[in-house]
Amino acid sequence: MTNIPVTTWSLEQTSPTDLLPAAAPEGDVRIVRSEVPSPEFSRFLYASVGGDIRWIDRLGWTYARWQEHLGRPGVETWVAHDHGTPAGYVELEPQDDGVVEIVYFGLIPAFRGRRIGGHLLSYGVARAWDLADRWPGLAATKRVWLHTCSLDGEHAMDNYLRRGFQLFDTKVEEEPDVTAPGPWPGAYPS
């Protein structure tokens, strides 16, 4: 297997006032929290959003591993729906000392380019800033961070910067050149 260079950028906000919200898109777009931990639904979102951009690290997770992760206090999945259909999601994960990571964020390919992404990211970041309000015992959020890489969608970095994130680290590493798995075998024509 060959390797390719992959650049990973880490970005952060250190105050709720850093957030520069996007306007809500026109139409029937709603964002709701998936309050009942569901490994099936979370794996669907992960594979559907990341299938064409080489998200592979969770594909081998067992049901029990998904359940354990989703059941951790403060882990939240916020899902954008366009006319009732899941369009994308943002996953929040609290860390030590009031830090919240946006672990995953993205849209299913059919929903990209409709101005849903900026709105979903804005909403997700706002929910990261008020995470402790929903989870007694968590420290108040002091920092929200995420990472993106050169394999992610072409508009990802621009969206993060437009929402007020600031770059704090850049790394380039060799990674295996894997085929985009799609949400199921054969989803993308060769």
Parse the chain into domains and list their residue ranges: 3-176
Residue 136: is its pLDDT beyond 60?
Answer: yes
- The Cα-based distances of 120 to 27, 91, 134, 174, 178 in angstroms read 14, 11, 19, 31, 28
Taking a C-beta distance cutoff of 8 angstroms, is the pair 142, 98 a contact? Answer: yes
| Distance of alpha carbon 106 from alpha carbon 89, whole angstroms | 6
pLDDT band with cut points at 50, 70 and 90 for residue 109:
very high
What is the reported pLDDT for 9? 97
| Summary mean pLDDT of the chain | 94
Better pLDDT: 177 or 14: 14
Contact 181, 12 (CB under 8 A): no
3-176: which CATH number, 3.40.630.30, 2.60.40.10, 3.40.50.10260, 3.40.50.740?
3.40.630.30
**Position 66 pLDDT exceeds 80:** yes
DSSP state of 106: E
pLDDT tens per residue across span 67-94: 999 999 999 999 999 999 999 999 999 9
CB of 183 closer than 8 Å to CB of 28: no
Dump pLDDT digits (tens) for 154-167.
Answer: 889 999 999 999 99
pLDDT band per the 50, 70, 90 thresholds, residue 115: very high
Instruction: Return all residues near 80 (Cβ < 8 A) that are at least 6 apart.
Output: 29, 30, 31, 86, 87, 88, 89, 107, 111, 116, 119, 120, 123
pLDDT band at 189 (very low <50, low <70, confident <90, very high): low
